[in-house]
Every structure is written in structure tokens, then in C-alpha cells.
Amino acid sequence: MSTITNHRTKGILLRFLPFWIFLVFFKFGGALHYSLISPLGERLLPLWIVGLLMGGGSLIQLLLDVPAGYLLDRFGYLKLLKLTTFFFILAAVCIVFGLTTVTYIMSLVMATAGWLFFGPGVNAYALSQAEKSNAGRFMSLRDMAGSLGVVFSSAILPFVLLFAPQAIGSTILIVLAAALVALFFSPKDTVSVHAEKKLETHHYYIRRHYLRDVLRAIKKLNPASSLLLMLNLSSSIFYGIIWFVVPLVIAHQANTGMLGLGLGVFDFAVVVLGYALGNLADKVEKRTLIFFGLLIFSVSGMLLGFNYGWLFLLFGFLATTGDEMAGISLWSWMHALDREHAQDGAVSGVINLAEDLGWAIGPMLAGVLYGLIGSSWTIAVGALPILVIWIIYQIMFRNNPIRSLTSAEVPRKPHRPRHKK
């Protein structure tokens, strides 16, 4: 059986190789651009304005999510992925012309347009191309390719910060141009992603739900849905602060190569521990996992910024481990409450709405706090909402009955990236 699985995975890998190359290079260039927003913006504007601009881009994405989905269906997934990559290339071109307030803001505008269709476009293309039997492997390869691109960008960030703005823009331009070229060799999409449900968590990836549907689902699936919403919101605020603050620290301090790699440790933890944590969720009581998961996440997050050496890697790993422990348990609990599974689409709206909002709030908060209390305390403050959720859970939900489900009954928890998507 494993031989057949490996053969099928190899077939998907080879047939869609240009698409995987696109993902690696797009996330390489896109994550590099995103991590440079705060240190480049600091040269031109007060940091609170930089945070406002950075978070504002994520807020625009949240507001335009529904119309972006309909445009993808109307004009085709691959076509709009080419367009969105071209917008990102324009973002790099703006920096090539030199770093001024005008070129900086124009670069952010183009990058916002570049991110708009990327997440839903990649998911829709992948699920429309995948067969029902290999959809899980297809999405796993998508996660691996995207994470690999982020690791590349994190590794070279300390060196790129030493470049002149024109060289920075040229580096991003070359990487994204390679991504665009790869798209032209990717298999064309001919089938709608809505034609067939390929995964139990299909709706998590194809999100297109209005606020009224989201609020209805939250009410029906309480208390698990409210806790999961709060966890996704607070964790996205935390990671949004990390991606604002850490590049600034790298720009200001010498010998921060390990810290650059630290930006990739959060996804690395999920890749390493994902399977083990899934098994743990079957054997350990959900209340215990939620209790310790939230506690480990909050404490590790608060300690994270007080040492930018190897302890940063350790606490980053532990923070994401706690995040996943709580998240897997809440995911299982919510699916136990959703017995009819008629709200799957709206449930995905709950999760994604909170994530997008968190990525908008995080940089805005960091932009204000960084100049007032410094990098270490800004990261610590970013972890406080997680501690508040832990306290709320102890007071309000600890005694709620949690119907246990095994991993065979619960759809695999989708990978939640700890970087801009």
C-alpha cells in the first residue's frame, strides 16, 4: 500500500512540477517582500504608520475575499494567478526605482493586489486539478512547497537587508519572474473547484461566506466554535506581530542569522509534530490538551522575544506546538458538535475570518508598541490575548462536556500557515 501511495505522490509531483516551482518561488518572493515592509518603512515613515499600512493591506484582503472568489470562478484560477503574480512583480519594480514614500506605498498597494487572489486561487486550482483519491496528498504538497519558499526567504533576509533598495527590489523581481514563468508551464485548469467535494475539509480551503452565515455557525457550534475563533484570532495577531518585529530586530542587530531562520521555525514545528499531535489528541482527554496547549502557547510566546539566539528557536517551536495542541482538540470538539455537517462552509468562514482579522490587527498593534516598549515586550504583549483565552477557558468552558472523536471520525485539521498567505 505504501508503495502505491509513494508512486501516486511521485506522479503528482512530476506532473505538476511547474506549479510546485511556482509556489516555492512565489512564497519566496512574497514572504521576502512582506518581511521587508517594516524595516524599509522605518527608513521613511513613523512605525505606527508602517503598521497601519501593513495591517491595512490584510484588512483589504478580508473585505475583498468574497468578490475575489467569484472573479476566480469567472475568469479561471490559473489566469488570475498569473495576474496576481504580475501585480507582485510590479511591487518589486516600485522598489527598483528607489526607496521613496511614493514608491514604498505603491509597492504595498501592488503587493496587496498580489496577495488577494493567491491563497484562494492556489487552493481552488489545486482542488480542481486533484482527484478525490489524491486530494489530501495534493494539499500536503501545496503546504510543503509554500513552507519551503518561506524558509528560503527567512534564510536570506539578514543578507538582503544589507543591500541597497534597488538591489532588494531586483532580487524580489527575479524570484517572482521565475514564479510567473513556471505558471505558463503548469497544467491548465478546466474544471470548477465546486464541481465535486474532494476533501472533508474542502470548504475550509474554498471560503466564500458572508458575515451573517459566519455568525450563525458560531452560535450553533458554541462553545467550541467561539474558542476556535478566539484562538485563530489571537494566534494570527501574535504571528502578525512576529513578522513585523523580527525583521526590524534583524535590521538593527548584528549576527542575527539564526533569528532569520527563526521565522521559519513556526511552520517547521507543525511539519515535524503534526502526525504525533494528531495521535496524542486520540489518547489524551481534550480538556487536558486545550489546557496545556493554551498555557504552553501563551507562556512560550511571552518569553520568545527576550532572547534572539537559540532560545528563540526553542520557544518558537514550543509556542506553535501549544497552538497545534489546542487547535487540534478544538477542531475535533467542533466537528463533534456539528453532527449534521450542514455548516461546514460557514465553519470555514469562522476560522478564516478570524485569521484574516488577526493578520490585520497584529502589524497595526506592533507599529504602535514597538517604539514605546521595544521589541521584546511588544512580542510579549502579542501573546497576552492567548493567556486571556486560557483564563476564559478555565472560568467558562472547563466543565463543558466534550464529546470525544477519534482521528478516523474527524477530518484532518488543515495546515494553518504561520506566515502571510
Decide if 110 contacts 85 (C-beta within 8 A).
Answer: no
Predicted pLDDT of residue 10: 66
CA nearest neighbour of 35 among 183, 178, 160, 126: 160
Predicted pLDDT of residue 135: 76
Decide if 236 contacts 360 (C-beta within 8 A).
Answer: no
CA nearest neighbour of 160 among 97, 114, 95: 95
For residues 252 and 43, give the distance between their C-alpha atoms in angstroms, rounded to a whole number. 12
Q: Give strand ranges (E) for 45-135.
A: none
Decide if 241 contacts 418 (C-beta within 8 A).
Answer: no
Predicted pLDDT of residue 279: 63
pLDDT (tens, 9 = 90+) of the chain, 421 residues, equals 444 445 456 667 788 899 999 999 999 999 999 999 999 999 999 999 999 999 999 888 888 877 888 888 888 899 999 999 999 999 999 999 999 999 999 999 999 999 988 988 888 888 888 887 777 778 778 888 888 898 889 889 888 998 999 999 999 999 999 999 999 999 888 778 777 777 766 676 776 655 666 666 667 677 777 888 889 899 999 999 999 999 999 888 766 657 777 787 887 776 666 656 666 656 667 788 888 999 999 999 999 988 888 888 889 889 988 988 888 888 777 777 766 555 555 566 667 778 888 999 999 999 999 999 999 999 999 999 999 999 988 887 766 666 555 554 556 666 667 777 7
With cell 477557558, the residue in question is 393
Query: Radius of gyration of the chain from Cα atoms?
Result: 21
- Amino acid 395 reads I
Decide if 57 contacts 108 (C-beta within 8 A).
Answer: yes
CA nearest neighbour of 162 among 293, 301, 82, 256: 256
